[in-house]
Structure 1
């Protein structure tokens, strides 16, 4: 893309476009938009470095976040998209890129804090990627990281339960231990309007179904449906409905009534 076009773009608007592509699970669009975000941020960065090398003051382009954030976010979103598309080597490469943002020149204190945050995220997502690929021996290290960083526990629960179903792991003890920690952190498994909560409840329902606890599975898919009951989540509701219908014959009368009431409320 031409530098003149890149300079006219606003990184924060591109981030919003990325969020929309992720919400619609359009992973090719995520890759495309993340690339535009990277090029835009890189263009601003190179212009800033060039100005400083010539003895001028740091160029100031108004953004809501430090410039390095947009470069790191572009790598992180590309990594997510490659992971969803099953291109694991490319996802690993993206993780390495946002783990090493500190090599950029002229970073101020606020930018260095962002660099450290992405380095931390890279460590967590590196574990998550390999666990999803079946590396069960990394579970202990991943759980220890989740215990160290409370804000990552809910998304980590989703990763672990999804991997358990995919690879046939029985991990009740790990799930219950992390659930207790999530409840104790103030987030709570009853929280609404939380994407991580939706994904965890959905994957937990699949785990309970696989283990052979259908009524527990229904409880979790009902929770997932309630969390997803907001604009833009229609696709998620359809997925939940498909899972619940597959469990209908094993659900209790009370659960079926909750399901009926929910469906009546979204018509």
Structure 2
């Protein structure tokens, strides 16, 4: 196997450089450079990058060789390993990190340092590299009840969230046993994150259970806070009142999913009361404003779902001022219209341009929250199909239905596919030639389960 020294020697020979000339170009002392080439001295990361640049090679060109020579073939030294890990992370050399770390973690003496690097990378959003280190540290942890192992598992859980509900469910189930081993303050964020994952995959009993556990644990922390010294560093991501309010918001979401709307209003009012904080800091005020915005929107939504048609106009005004709520808001209005027979043509006309952009928005799959948004798009188009068909706008209704069927097929939502097929079967005589072709095209791609 070629080594870095032989590459340098060949380069000097091919370019006709004397050692002194090259040392001046790379700005490394000639004696140091000579020792590196002879193999009597290992080069630092900085020296390696200087030599690589002087040879007009891409950054990280020698990293795989360097990793083998310094950390696998030779006994690793933390003074070289730490900057190597950071540079590999910066350049996305994940395979090299994995190769080196797998070898290095055979030596338990580096576990503390590797965990610290993982935390640093995590805080810098170098998530893929951090995940490699967290997995190695977790796999090497001797004490299965240690807080560090639990924290590694928490980070792995956060970094493992994907667009697949099955992957997320698996990650959540694996992480659950470690929550009680985390620091009691960190547990609040962990429970919040766990409940959020269960919410995206609509496991409402799980959301309810963890929301109530969050409420119980934060009440204990609030009691402890009154006894702590004032300058103790906060370990939670947010002020404590946030978690009480969020627990109630989660419970309200559970009742919403169960269509127990009076209870939704009850818990919405609860979290709005909680965020009435005296003398709020700037951070507090930002959180208060967010909950008040959510509360206002949720109150409009629930009242319209309870059949209060007079709420539609103020709700539309709210949506105009909070564009990120338009999809959810219009879905609520459509569901109410279909249940109570409201005419909402004016609402659909008002947001016609925004609705036309939904298809583009749908393809922005940049994070795991896409799962929840994905579901809302499917339901939106299904409810739109029902509404337009009820209004005898059959072509518009079938267009919306075909959009729902296409999205449901792409998302493997078999139940929604079946609902779309049933509705299309009922109104197929109203479809035009183009719609019939679109329907056949989508159906050919379907692979529904047989019962």
TM-score computed with the length of structure 2 as normaliser: 0.51
Alignment partner for residue 114 of structure 1, among 277, 281, 287? 287
Distance change (3 Å), C-alpha of 1:263 and 1:113: same
Q: How does 1:151-170 map to 2 (within 5 A)?
A: 151-170=324-343
**Is 1:128 aligned to residue 305 of structure 2?**
no
5+ residue gaps, structure 1, are none
Q: TM-score, normalised by structure 1?
A: 0.81
State the structure with bigger RCO (CA 8 A, min sep 6), 1 or 2. Answer: 1
Query: Deviations for 1:118-158, whole angstroms, at most 9, x for unmatched residues?
Result: 11110111011011101111211111111122111221111
Alignment check: 8 A CA contact 2:245 2:271 kept = yes
CA offset digits 1:95-125 (Å, max 9, x no partner): 1122123345786422321121111110111
Contact 2:255–2:261 (Cα < 8 Å) also in 1: yes
Seen in structure 2, the aligned counterparts of structure 1 residues 24 and 245 have a Cα distance that, compared at 3 Å, is: farther
TM-align CA RMSD:
3.0
1:72-91 mapped onto 2 (5 Å cutoff): 72-91=245-264
Counterpart for residue 322 of structure 2 = 149
Query: Which position in structure 1 is the counterpart of 2:436?
Result: 256
Distance 1:188 1:124 in 2: 20
Q: For 1:160-199, what aligned pairs fall within 5 Å after superposition?
A: 160-181=333-354, 187-192=357-362, 194-195=373-374, 196-199=376-379
In structure 2, the residue matched to 1:218 is: 398
Report if the CA contact (8 A) 1:68-1:115 is conserved.
no
Map of 1:209 onto structure 2: 389
Deviation of 1:68 (Å): 4.3
CA distance in 1, matches of 2:424, 2:240: 45
Aligned partners of 1:74, 1:135: CA distance in 2, in Å?
27
Structure 2: unaligned runs, 5 residues or longer: 1-179, 364-372
Which residue of the partner structure matches residue 92 of structure 1? 265
Could you say if the C-alpha distance between residues 37 and 154 of structure 1 is closer, same or farther in structure 2, counting changes exceeding 3 Å? same
Kept in 2: contact 1:201–1:221 (CA 8 A): yes
Q: Which stretch shifts more, 211-220 or 193-202? A: 193-202
Distance 1:235 1:20 in 2: 21
Cα drift, residue 23 of structure 1? 4.0
Rg (Cα) greater in structure: 2
